[in-house]
A and B are shown apart, each in its own frame.
Chain A
Amino acid sequence: MSTASSPSRLGALLMTPVHFVMRLIDAPVRGLQKATGIGGMAAFFLAPNMLIFGIFVLLPLVINFVYSMTGGTAFFLSERQFVGADQYARLFTCGSYLDPMSCQEDAFWTAVGNTFWFVILQVALMIVTALITALILNRDLAARSFWRAVFFFPVLLSPVVVGLIWKWILQRQGLLNFILYEFGGTEPYTWLTDRNWTFAATIGVSIWAHMGFYALILLAGLQAIPKDLYEAAEMDGTRPARVFWRITLPLLAPNLLVVVVLALIRAVQIFDEVYVLTGGGPGTSTLYLTQYIYETGFASALRNPGLAAAASILMGVVLVVLTLFQLGIGRKQENKGKR
C-alpha cells in the first residue's frame, strides 16, 4: 500500500511491539526447529488451533454421548450416575405418537413440532423472497451495489438487536399498530400475546433478518448463468415468465438446492432472536428446540443436563443428515464441473 506517509508511519509505530513479541518468540521456536527439523514445525504451527479445537469442540462432541447416558443434576461427569438409554426412553415415552401432550416430555415434542413447522414455513417463504430479490437485483439496475446493501443490512445486526427492534414495533403502542390505525382505523392489537400471531412473527422476523444473505448467494448464482442464453431468448421474443422457467430456474437449481439446505440447517437451530422477541411464549407456542435444550440443561429449576444432551444429540443427527446431503450436492456439482 502506497498511501500517505503519516498513516503508514503510525502503522509502523503500532507494529513495533508486535515485531518485538514476534522476535521474542523466534528464539525458542528456532531451538525447537533445530530439534524437530523443518517438517516437525508443521505440528508446532498446527498445535494451538488443534488444541483449542480438541478441548472445546471435539471433546464436548464425544462427552455429549456419555452425558446423554447419565442422570442427575450435577454437571461434572464424575458426579453423575450411568442410566443407560433412560434419557432417550424418557424423550420417546408417549401415550400416542400423534399427540405431543401425551408424552412424558411434552415440552420436547411441542418444541419439535414448533420447530418443524417453523423450519418448513420459514425456509419456504424465505427462499421465495430471496429468489425474487436476487432476480430483481440481477436486472440492469443503476446503483445495484446500493440496492444489494439495502437487503443485506439486517444480516449484520445481532439477533438480540433484531429481537428488540421487532419487540418494539409489535408492541401495543408500536409502529405496526400505528400504521394499521392510520390507514385502516384498526384498534391497537397486542401481537405478541396471541399464539398464532406470535408464531407468525417469529417466522417473519427471522426472514427479515436472514433473507439478504441467501439473496446474495442466489444473486451470485444468477450472475454465473451465461448471458448469451438470455440474448438468444430475447431474439426469439420469449416471454419473461418462460425465460424464468426454462432458463433461469433449471440453471439455478443446484445453487438453489445448496441454499435451501443451508437455510434448513440454520432454521433448525433458531434461538437468539426468538428468545428475545417472545421468550418462547405465549405459553409454549414459540418454544423451539434450541431453547428447549437450553432450558432443560441450564435454566429451569428441574434442570436435567442428561436429558438436554440426549435432545441435543437427536438435533445433531438431523443436522448431520442435512449437512451430508449438502456435501453430497456439492460433490455432484464439482464432478459436473470437471466433465
Chain B
Amino acid sequence: MGAAARFLLRRQGVNKGGRGWHWTDVVTWIWLVGGLIIMFGPAVWLAFSSFKTPAALAEFPPSILPYVTSQATVEGYDKPLQLYDAKMPDGSTRVLAEVRRIGLVSQMVDPQAPGEIVRVNMNDRTPVRTLSFATSNYTEPFVHFDFLRYLWNSVFVTVVATLITLVVNSMAAFALSKYEFRGRSAAMLIILATLMVPLSVIMVPLYSIISSLGLFNSLWGVILPTVATPTGVFILRQYMLTIPDELIDAARMDKASEWQIYWRIVLPLTAPALAVLAIFSVVWRWNDFLWPLIVLSRRELYTLQVGLSIYSGELNVQWHFILAMTVVTMIPVVLVFIFLQRFITTGIAGTGLK
C-alpha cells in the first residue's frame, strides 16, 4: 500500500536535492487520495448496496458487504428460526435458534436437539451472518417489471441515433469542407449558432412539432431531434479539411461519382473523428433524460433513464430494485470509461466539448 502510494505520487524530473516532502506534496497527496475516494466511493457503495436484501438495506449502521442473517428450520417449529451465536454462562459459544424473546431474555433451542429450551440474555447473543449476494435484485426487475423492455428501448435509441448522427453529420461535414458554394459560410454559421440553443429553451414548441408529426409516444420522437448535432458536424468538418483535395480530384478524373468519393475515400479517412463522435453520441444518447421524459408517456416505451426516475419517485421506493437497475444503467458508461477514457480525456482537453 505504502509502496504503491509512493509510486503513484512520486514526482519525476526535477530533483529537489534530496529535500523531504514540501507542503505542496502533502496537499497533492490529500487531494488525490480524497478525490479517489469521493469520485469512486459513491458509485462503488451503490454497487455493493445493490446486492443486499431489502432487510439488509434497512439496517443502520449498514455493513459494506451484503450479509444476510442465517435461519434454520427446526423440528417442531413451523417457521424458520433466526440463528444466533449465544454466549453461555461458562464462556463457551453455541449456535442456537431463537424461539421467542420475552423482555431481555431470549428463549433458544439447539437446532440439533430442539427439546431443551435455553434462556439467554438478549445482549449475549449476536445474529449469525453469512455473505450472500441478492442476485434476485437484478433478475426480478427484468422478469416482473418492464426493465428488459426499458433496456431494449435505451439500446435501440442509442444505436439508431448514433448511426443516423454519423451518416447525416458526415454528409453535411463533407459538403461544408469539400465544396465551394454560395451560402456555405451561412450554413456553417447557422449550425454553430444553434450550439447555444439548448433543449430547455425550445422544449414547448418542439413538443408540438413532434406531436403534429405523430411522433409523440414513439422512440423516433426521441431519436430524430437529437441527430443533427452541431458539435458532430463541427468536429467532422475540421477533420475533413485536413484531407487533401488532390485525392478527390484524382477520383473525379477516374470517373468516380460524388457519392463514391464520399463513402469510399472521405469516410474511411475520417474514421478517427467518426470514432470520437460515435463515442460521444453513445454517451449522450444513453444518458438523455429530459426529452425522453417529455416524449414518452407510455410505460412500455420508457428508456432506462426515464423508467429509473419514475420508479425511484414512487411513494414506496423499492430501493433494492432501483439500486440494481442503476448499476445496469451505469454499465455501458463504465465500459466506455475503462476502455476509452484516455481517448476521451485527451479529446476533451483538445476540443473542449462534452
Contact status A29-B257, CB under 8 Å: yes
Contact with A along B1-34 (1 / 0, CB 8 A): 0000001111111100000000010011001100
Q: B38: CB under 8 A from chain A?
A: yes
Judged by a CB distance under 8 angstroms, whether B117 is at the interface is no
Q: Is B131 positioned at the interface, with any CB of A under 8 Å from its CB?
A: no
Within 8 A of A (CB), among B156-180: 167-169, 171-172, 174-176, 179-180
Q: Which of B40, B62, B204 counts the most chain A CB atoms within 10 A? A: B204
Given A151-B39, A276-B312, are A182 and B329 neighbors across the interface (CB < 8 Å)? no
By the criterion CB–CB under 8 Å, are A76 and B181 in contact? Answer: no
For B257, the chain A residues whose CB sits under 8 A away are 26, 29-30, 33
CB-based contact A220/B323 at 8 Å:
no
Residue B349 lies at the interface, judged by CB distance under 8 Å to chain A: yes
- The answer to whether B228 touches A52 (Cβ under 8 A) is yes
Is residue B126 within 8 Å, beta carbon to beta carbon, of the partner chain? no
Residue of B whose beta carbon sits closest to that of A29: B259
**Contact A76 to B32, CB < 8 A, known contacts A50-B187, A146-B8, A165-B46:** no
Chain B positions within 8 Å of A159 at CB level: 287, 289
Count chain A CB atoms within 10 A of each CB in B59, B175, B313, B329 and give the residue with the most: B175
Instruction: Check if A233 is an interface residue, CB within 8 A of chain B.
Output: no
Name the one of B32, B58, B203, B308 contacting A294, with C-beta atoms under 8 angstroms. B203
Scan residues 246-280 of chain A and give those whose CB is less than 8 A from a CB of chain B. 258, 262, 265, 269, 271-272, 275-276, 279
**Which residues of chain B are within 8 angstroms of A302 by Cβ–Cβ distance?**
none
Interface residues of A in 312-329 (CB under 8 A from B): 312-313, 315-316, 319-320, 323
Residue among A29, A157, A290 having the largest count of chain B Cβ atoms under 10 Å: A157
Which of these, A26, A136, A320, contacts B259 with CB under 8 Å?
A26
CB contacts (< 8 Å) of B11 on chain A: these are 139-142
Cα A280 to Cα B289 with chains together (Å)? 16
Does A35 sit within 8 A of B, measured CB to CB?
A: no
A198 → B minimal CB distance (Å): 15
> In the bound complex, do residue A158 and residue B172 qualify as a contact, i.e. CB atoms below 8 Å apart?
no
Complex: chain A residue closest to B232, CB-CB: A49
Q: Do A46 and B259 contact each other (CB < 8 Å), given the known contacts A64-B202, A320-B196? A: no
Main secondary structure of the interface of B (DSSP, over half): helix
CB-contacts of A58-76 with B (<8 A)? 58-61, 63-64, 67, 75-76
Question: Considering only CB atoms, which chain B residue lies closest to A221 in the complex?
Answer: B349
- B204 near A64 (CB under 8 angstroms)? yes
A155 at the interface (CB under 8 A from B): yes
Please state if A269 and B337 are interface contacts (CB–CB under 8 Å): no
Spot the interface stretch: A92-100, A101-109, A167-175: A167-175
A212 near B349 (CB under 8 angstroms)?
no
Task: Give chain A residues whose Cβ lies under 8 Å from the Cβ of B103.
Answer: none
Q: Which residues of B contact A25 (CB under 8 A)?
A: 259
Instruction: Name which residue of chain A comes closest to B24, CB basis.
Output: A240
Asked if A139 and B28 sit within 8 Å, CB to CB, the answer is yes
B341 touches A149 (CB 8 A): yes
Q: Does A153 contact B (CB under 8 A)?
A: yes
B206 at the interface (CB under 8 A from A): yes
User: Are the C-beta atoms of A142 and B333 separated by less than 8 Å?
Assistant: no
Q: How far is the CA of A217 from the CA of B24 in the complex (A)?
A: 22
A35 to chain B, nearest CB (A): 12
Counting CB contacts under 8 A, is B205 at the interface?
Answer: yes
- A53 to chain B: which residues have CB within 8 Å? 190-191, 194, 228
Partner of B179, one of A39, A216, A220, A272: A39
* Residues in A whose Cβ lies below 8 Å from that of B39: 150-151, 153-154, 208, 212
- Given the complex, which residues of B lie within 8 Å of A119, measured CB to CB? none
Q: Kindly state the separation between the CA atoms of A298 and B46 in the bound complex, as whole angstroms.
A: 32
With A133-B35, A140-B11, A160-B305: A173-B348 Cβ-Cβ less than 8 Å: no
CB contacts (< 8 Å) of A271 on chain B: these are 200, 290
Contact with A along B28-58 (1 / 0, CB 8 A): 1001100110111011011001000000011
| B202 touches which of A33, A57, A178 (Cβ 8 Å) | A57
Interface residues as binary, B290-318 with A (CB distance below 8 Å gives 1, 0 otherwise)? 10001000000000010011001100000
Residue numbers in A under 8 Å from B344 (CB-CB)? 152, 156
The CA-CA distance from A312 to B206 in the complex, in Å, is 12
For chain A, which range describes its interface: under 10, 10 to 19, 20 to 34, or 35 or more residues? Answer: 35 or more
Q: CB < 8 Å: which of B40, B204, B252, B313 contacts A297?
A: B204
- Chain B residues with CB under 8 Å of A48's CB are 167-168, 171-172
Complex-state Cα separation, A154 to B334, whole angstroms: 10
* Inter-chain contacts of B227 with A (CB < 8 A): 52
- Counting CB contacts under 8 A, is A125 at the interface? no
Contact of A166 with B42 at beta-carbon distance under 8 Å, contacts A26-B259, A161-B330 already known: yes
A172 to B42, CA, bound (A): 16
* Inter-subunit contact B207/A75 (CB<8 Å): yes
Q: Does B239 contact A (CB under 8 A)?
A: no
Chain B, residue nearest A30 (CB) = B257
What are 30 A-to-B residue pairs whose CB atoms are below 8 Å? A26-B260, A33-B258, A41-B258, A45-B171, A49-B169, A52-B168, A52-B225, A52-B228, A55-B209, A60-B209, A61-B205, A63-B209, A76-B211, A76-B212, A132-B31, A142-B8, A142-B11, A149-B342, A150-B39, A152-B341, A154-B39, A156-B333, A160-B308, A160-B329, A161-B329, A165-B42, A165-B326, A293-B203, A294-B203, A312-B204
Residues of A in contact with B (beta carbons under 8 Å apart): 22, 25-26, 29-30, 33, 38-39, 41-46, 48-50, 52-53, 55-61, 63-64, 67, 75-77, 132-133, 136, 139-143, 145-161, 163-169, 172-173, 175, 177-178, 181-182, 188, 208, 212-213, 216-217, 219-220, 234, 240, 258, 262, 265, 269, 271-272, 275-276, 279, 289-290, 293-294, 297-298, 305, 308-309, 312-313, 315-316, 319-320, 323
**Given A26-B257, A219-B349: 13 more A-B contacts, CB < 8 Å:** A45-B174, A46-B176, A55-B209, A140-B14, A141-B9, A142-B8, A150-B35, A150-B36, A158-B287, A173-B57, A213-B348, A216-B345, A312-B204
Closest 8 CB pairs of A and B: A49-B172, A158-B287, A42-B179, A45-B175, A220-B349, A56-B225, A63-B205, A60-B205
